[in-house]
Amino acid sequence: MAPNEHRGRYRTARFDARNGIPDAAGWLLGHPATTPVPGAGATPERRPMRERSTDPLVEIDEYRNVTDLLIQRAAAAADHIAFDVAGEHADEPWRPVTTMEFLREVRSLAKGLMAHGVAVGDAVAIMAPTRYEWAVSDLAAWFAGAVVVPVYETSSVDQVTAIARDAAPRLGIAGSSAHAEALSRGFAAAGAGALGVWTMDEGERSLTALRERAGEVDDEELESRRTAADLDTPATYVYTSGTTGEPKGAILTHRNFVGQVLNIAAAYREVVREDGNTVIFLPLAHVLARGLQLICLASGMRIAHLADTSRVVGVLEDRRPTFLVVVPRVLEKIRAAAGAKAQAKRLGGLWRAAERTAISWGRAEETGVTPGPLLRARRALFDRLFYRRLRALMGGRLAYILSGGATLDAEVALLFRGMGAPVVEGYGLTETTAPLTGNLPGDIRAGTVGIPLPGSTVRIAEDGEILARGVGVFAGYRDPSHDAEAFVDGFFRTGDLGRLDEHGHLVLAGRVKDVIVTSGGKTVVPHAWEQAVESDPLVAHAIMVGEGRPYLSALLVLDPEPLAAWATAHGVALPPARPGGIGALRDSALQDRLQRVVDAANLRVSRAEQVRRFTIVVADLDDTRLVTPTMKIKRRALLAEGTDVLADLYR
């Protein structure tokens, strides 16, 4: 089999763009008027695109389930290095693992799970940091015919209990003894986990101990279990992170995963390739990281895992990835850190000029304009001073960075493109099995999250909500009562607002539930204003408020690291951090600094969308009650915690 070639049958992509009818969405999202002018000879204005589809590139019906991805890859490239496994200590060398070695480990653990009593359809919970053993456990559970239930390693016992009550796992796999304790307590409270909890770390009840029972199960029995599930069998129950409400258990099938893995790999052959490699440091409990891992495994892209993000710079320099998946905040932090370092060396002015140059270069590349001699000269200068050093910090070989999980500011995307590390922004949800849309190499448009990926359709509803249909869209929630509001006309209601631009690229515009109606009846979508404020390195999260109020206000949640650096530089003594909850931070210099940020954001929106007052707050951004594992704020939880702070804004 040729490199990057799957056994599925490829088809040529066909893009289907359909115009819709004018409605309230244009008013809500700022679309131009689309109603034709009546009268003889009147020329109708161009209507906004309302739906776009992309045909699948790969037929998947010949696949039995997700495990076929590994079986076929091992048959095609048994000796290819699939993983680099970190040692227990930072100074230990990485251990290469071939595809066949990985398959043997998966089969051995699957037999151990079966010998211990895991039956077809049983739920197996995995609670661990991002590490190689997560991948082994995930595939082993599928080989044993089980359904995988990922649990974020930061989850509290109460959160584990809630998941266990709904999913009823029979067995748990934990990363460490601390994770095992959380699983055990949650299982006990929920009356689940009859087969106990086993750890990835060595010990009496470790995965090694489970593997010792592999001899009790023969290969024929294992193969029968591996092939028990078909494409429409549930593969996993994934619990949403709950930014706007209580988590829900989404049922993702083997068809969802196989369809996404093969079609996305086909669409991104330039990125996902056998001679490439990546470092995964997003939580594997998140469907984006898990989907990425399967795509790389099926396509031969070498994978290294990293749980300790404090080591990320050293690991990137060592592993030298060709491709990375990050959340937008990571890119914003890199930009802020570069600026702070330049400022410390009294090169702040030069760095700001370098930023402007990179953005101009990125915009020229995007629009196909040939840069003039002055821009070329400036970029060459700043490449020597800044850009190549930043690329070196990321390993020096990055061809692309994929950003997902939240909206990335267009200026940041252009900046990294201009510095030689183009960002491919995509969009998806747990319920769409990760990416639903994505920019493609050669067609990257900053400020958009791309076109529907192969096998997917995006439709914009009359109220501006993004609707989705396709191979990745889930089978429904564990609680069927949640399904009634989740679907309309065969489309999944994402809960996000957006529009399709003139090129058919999706532009996000916020959450449906975040729309604010003031006491004066003005309807405001806060996304644009919040994103503008969050582009400042000091601001981790901006939350506009004003529902039923006479004017708009905001809470600005500061990022602890840039805040500490700013305080040191300006001789400001910060109050001690308080664990949990939020608190107002009152400092006149800081207030003036952020007032300028707010004023600039106000200039980017209409008068009705401008914020009149704001309060600076500090919060424990490690508190899972307030922040999701992918660094998104839980708006309702924050507002509930900050009742007193909010009240001050309207006194």
Q: Residue 564 has what pLDDT? A: 85
- Sorting pLDDT into bands at 50, 70 and 90, what band is 581? low
| Identical topology for domains 326-506 and 515-648 | no
Residues 396 and 226: their CA atoms lie apart, in Å, by 40
Once rounded to an integer, what is the mean pLDDT over residues 176-205?
95
Residues 324 and 393: their CA atoms lie apart, in Å, by 13
Residues 647 and 636: their CA atoms lie apart, in Å, by 15
Q: What does the block give as tokens for 537?
A: 């390195």
Q: Residue 568 has what pLDDT? A: 85
User: What are phi and psi for residue 145, nearest 5 degrees?
Assistant: 85, 15
- Sorting pLDDT into bands at 50, 70 and 90, what band is 330? confident
- On the question of pLDDT at 24 being above 60, the answer is no
User: What is the enclosing helix (H) or strand (E) of 338?
Assistant: helix 328-344
Q: Residue 38 has what pLDDT? A: 35
Q: What is the largest CA-CA distance in the chain?
A: 85
The pLDDT mean for the chain works out to 88
Region of poorest pLDDT, from 274-283, 410-419, 512-521: 512-521
Q: What does the block give as tokens for 638?
A: 């924050």
Q: Is the dihedral of CA 527, 533, 537, 538 positive or negative?
A: negative
Residues 418 and 649: their CA atoms lie apart, in Å, by 41
Once rounded to an integer, what is the mean pLDDT over residues 333-359?
91
Q: Residue 243 has what pLDDT? A: 46
User: CB within 8 A of 108, min separation 6: which ones?
Assistant: 211, 214
- On the question of pLDDT at 3 being above 70, the answer is no
Q: How far is CA 478 from CA 44, 163, 273, in A?
A: 47, 11, 36
User: What is the enclosing helix (H) or strand (E) of 126?
Assistant: strand 123-127
Q: How far is CA 306 from CA 127, 206, 276, 445, in A?
A: 15, 21, 17, 30
- Condensed to tens digits (0 to 9), the pLDDT of residues 123-153 reads 999 999 999 999 999 999 999 999 999 999 9
Q: Which residue has the tokens 């493109």?
A: 417
Residues 371 and 365: their CA atoms lie apart, in Å, by 8
What CATH architecture applies to the domain 67-229? 3-Layer(aba) Sandwich (3.40)
Q: Residue 119 has what pLDDT? A: 98
- Sorting pLDDT into bands at 50, 70 and 90, what band is 606? confident
More confidently predicted of 3 and 207: 207
Domain 326-506, CATH homologous superfamily name and number: ANL, N-terminal domain (3.40.50.12780)
- CB-side exposure of 315: number of CA atoms within 13 Å? 24
- Sorting pLDDT into bands at 50, 70 and 90, what band is 577? low
Residues 477 and 126: their CA atoms lie apart, in Å, by 20
What burial class does residue 475 get, using C-beta atoms within 10 Å of its C-beta: 0-12 exposed, 13-18 middle, 19+ buried?
A: middle
Q: What does the block give as tokens for 330?
A: 């990571």
Residues 438 and 452: their CA atoms lie apart, in Å, by 7
On whether the CB atoms of residues 506 and 498 are closer than 8 A, the answer is yes
On whether the CB atoms of residues 149 and 122 are closer than 8 A, the answer is no
- Condensed to tens digits (0 to 9), the pLDDT of residues 77-108 reads 999 999 999 987 777 899 999 999 999 999 99
What burial class does residue 271 get, using C-beta atoms within 10 Å of its C-beta: 0-12 exposed, 13-18 middle, 19+ buried?
A: buried
Q: Does domain 515-648 have CATH number 2.40.30.10?
A: no
- On the question of pLDDT at 27 being above 70, the answer is no
Residues 112 and 415: their CA atoms lie apart, in Å, by 50
- Condensed to tens digits (0 to 9), the pLDDT of residues 33-83 reads 333 333 334 444 567 889 999 999 999 999 999 999 999 999 999 999 999
Q: What percent of the chain has pLDDT over 90?
A: 66
Once rounded to an integer, what is the mean pLDDT over residues 276-301?
95
- Sorting pLDDT into bands at 50, 70 and 90, what band is 8? very low
Q: Which residue has the tokens 């997003």?
A: 282
- On the question of pLDDT at 20 being above 60, the answer is no
Residues 450 and 448: their CA atoms lie apart, in Å, by 6
Region of poorest pLDDT, from 19-28, 287-296, 339-348, 474-483: 19-28
- Sorting pLDDT into bands at 50, 70 and 90, what band is 242? low
On whether the CB atoms of residues 211 and 109 are closer than 8 A, the answer is yes
Would you list the domain boundaries of the chain?
Answer: 67-229, 326-506, 515-648
Q: Which amino acid is at 150?
A: P
User: How many C-beta atoms surround the C-beta of residue 78 within 10 A?
Assistant: 13
Question: pTM score, two decimals?
Answer: 0.84
- On the question of pLDDT at 18 being above 60, the answer is no
Once rounded to an integer, what is the mean pLDDT over residues 344-371?
94
Once rounded to an integer, what is the mean pLDDT over residues 285-298?
95
Residues 117 and 101: their CA atoms lie apart, in Å, by 25
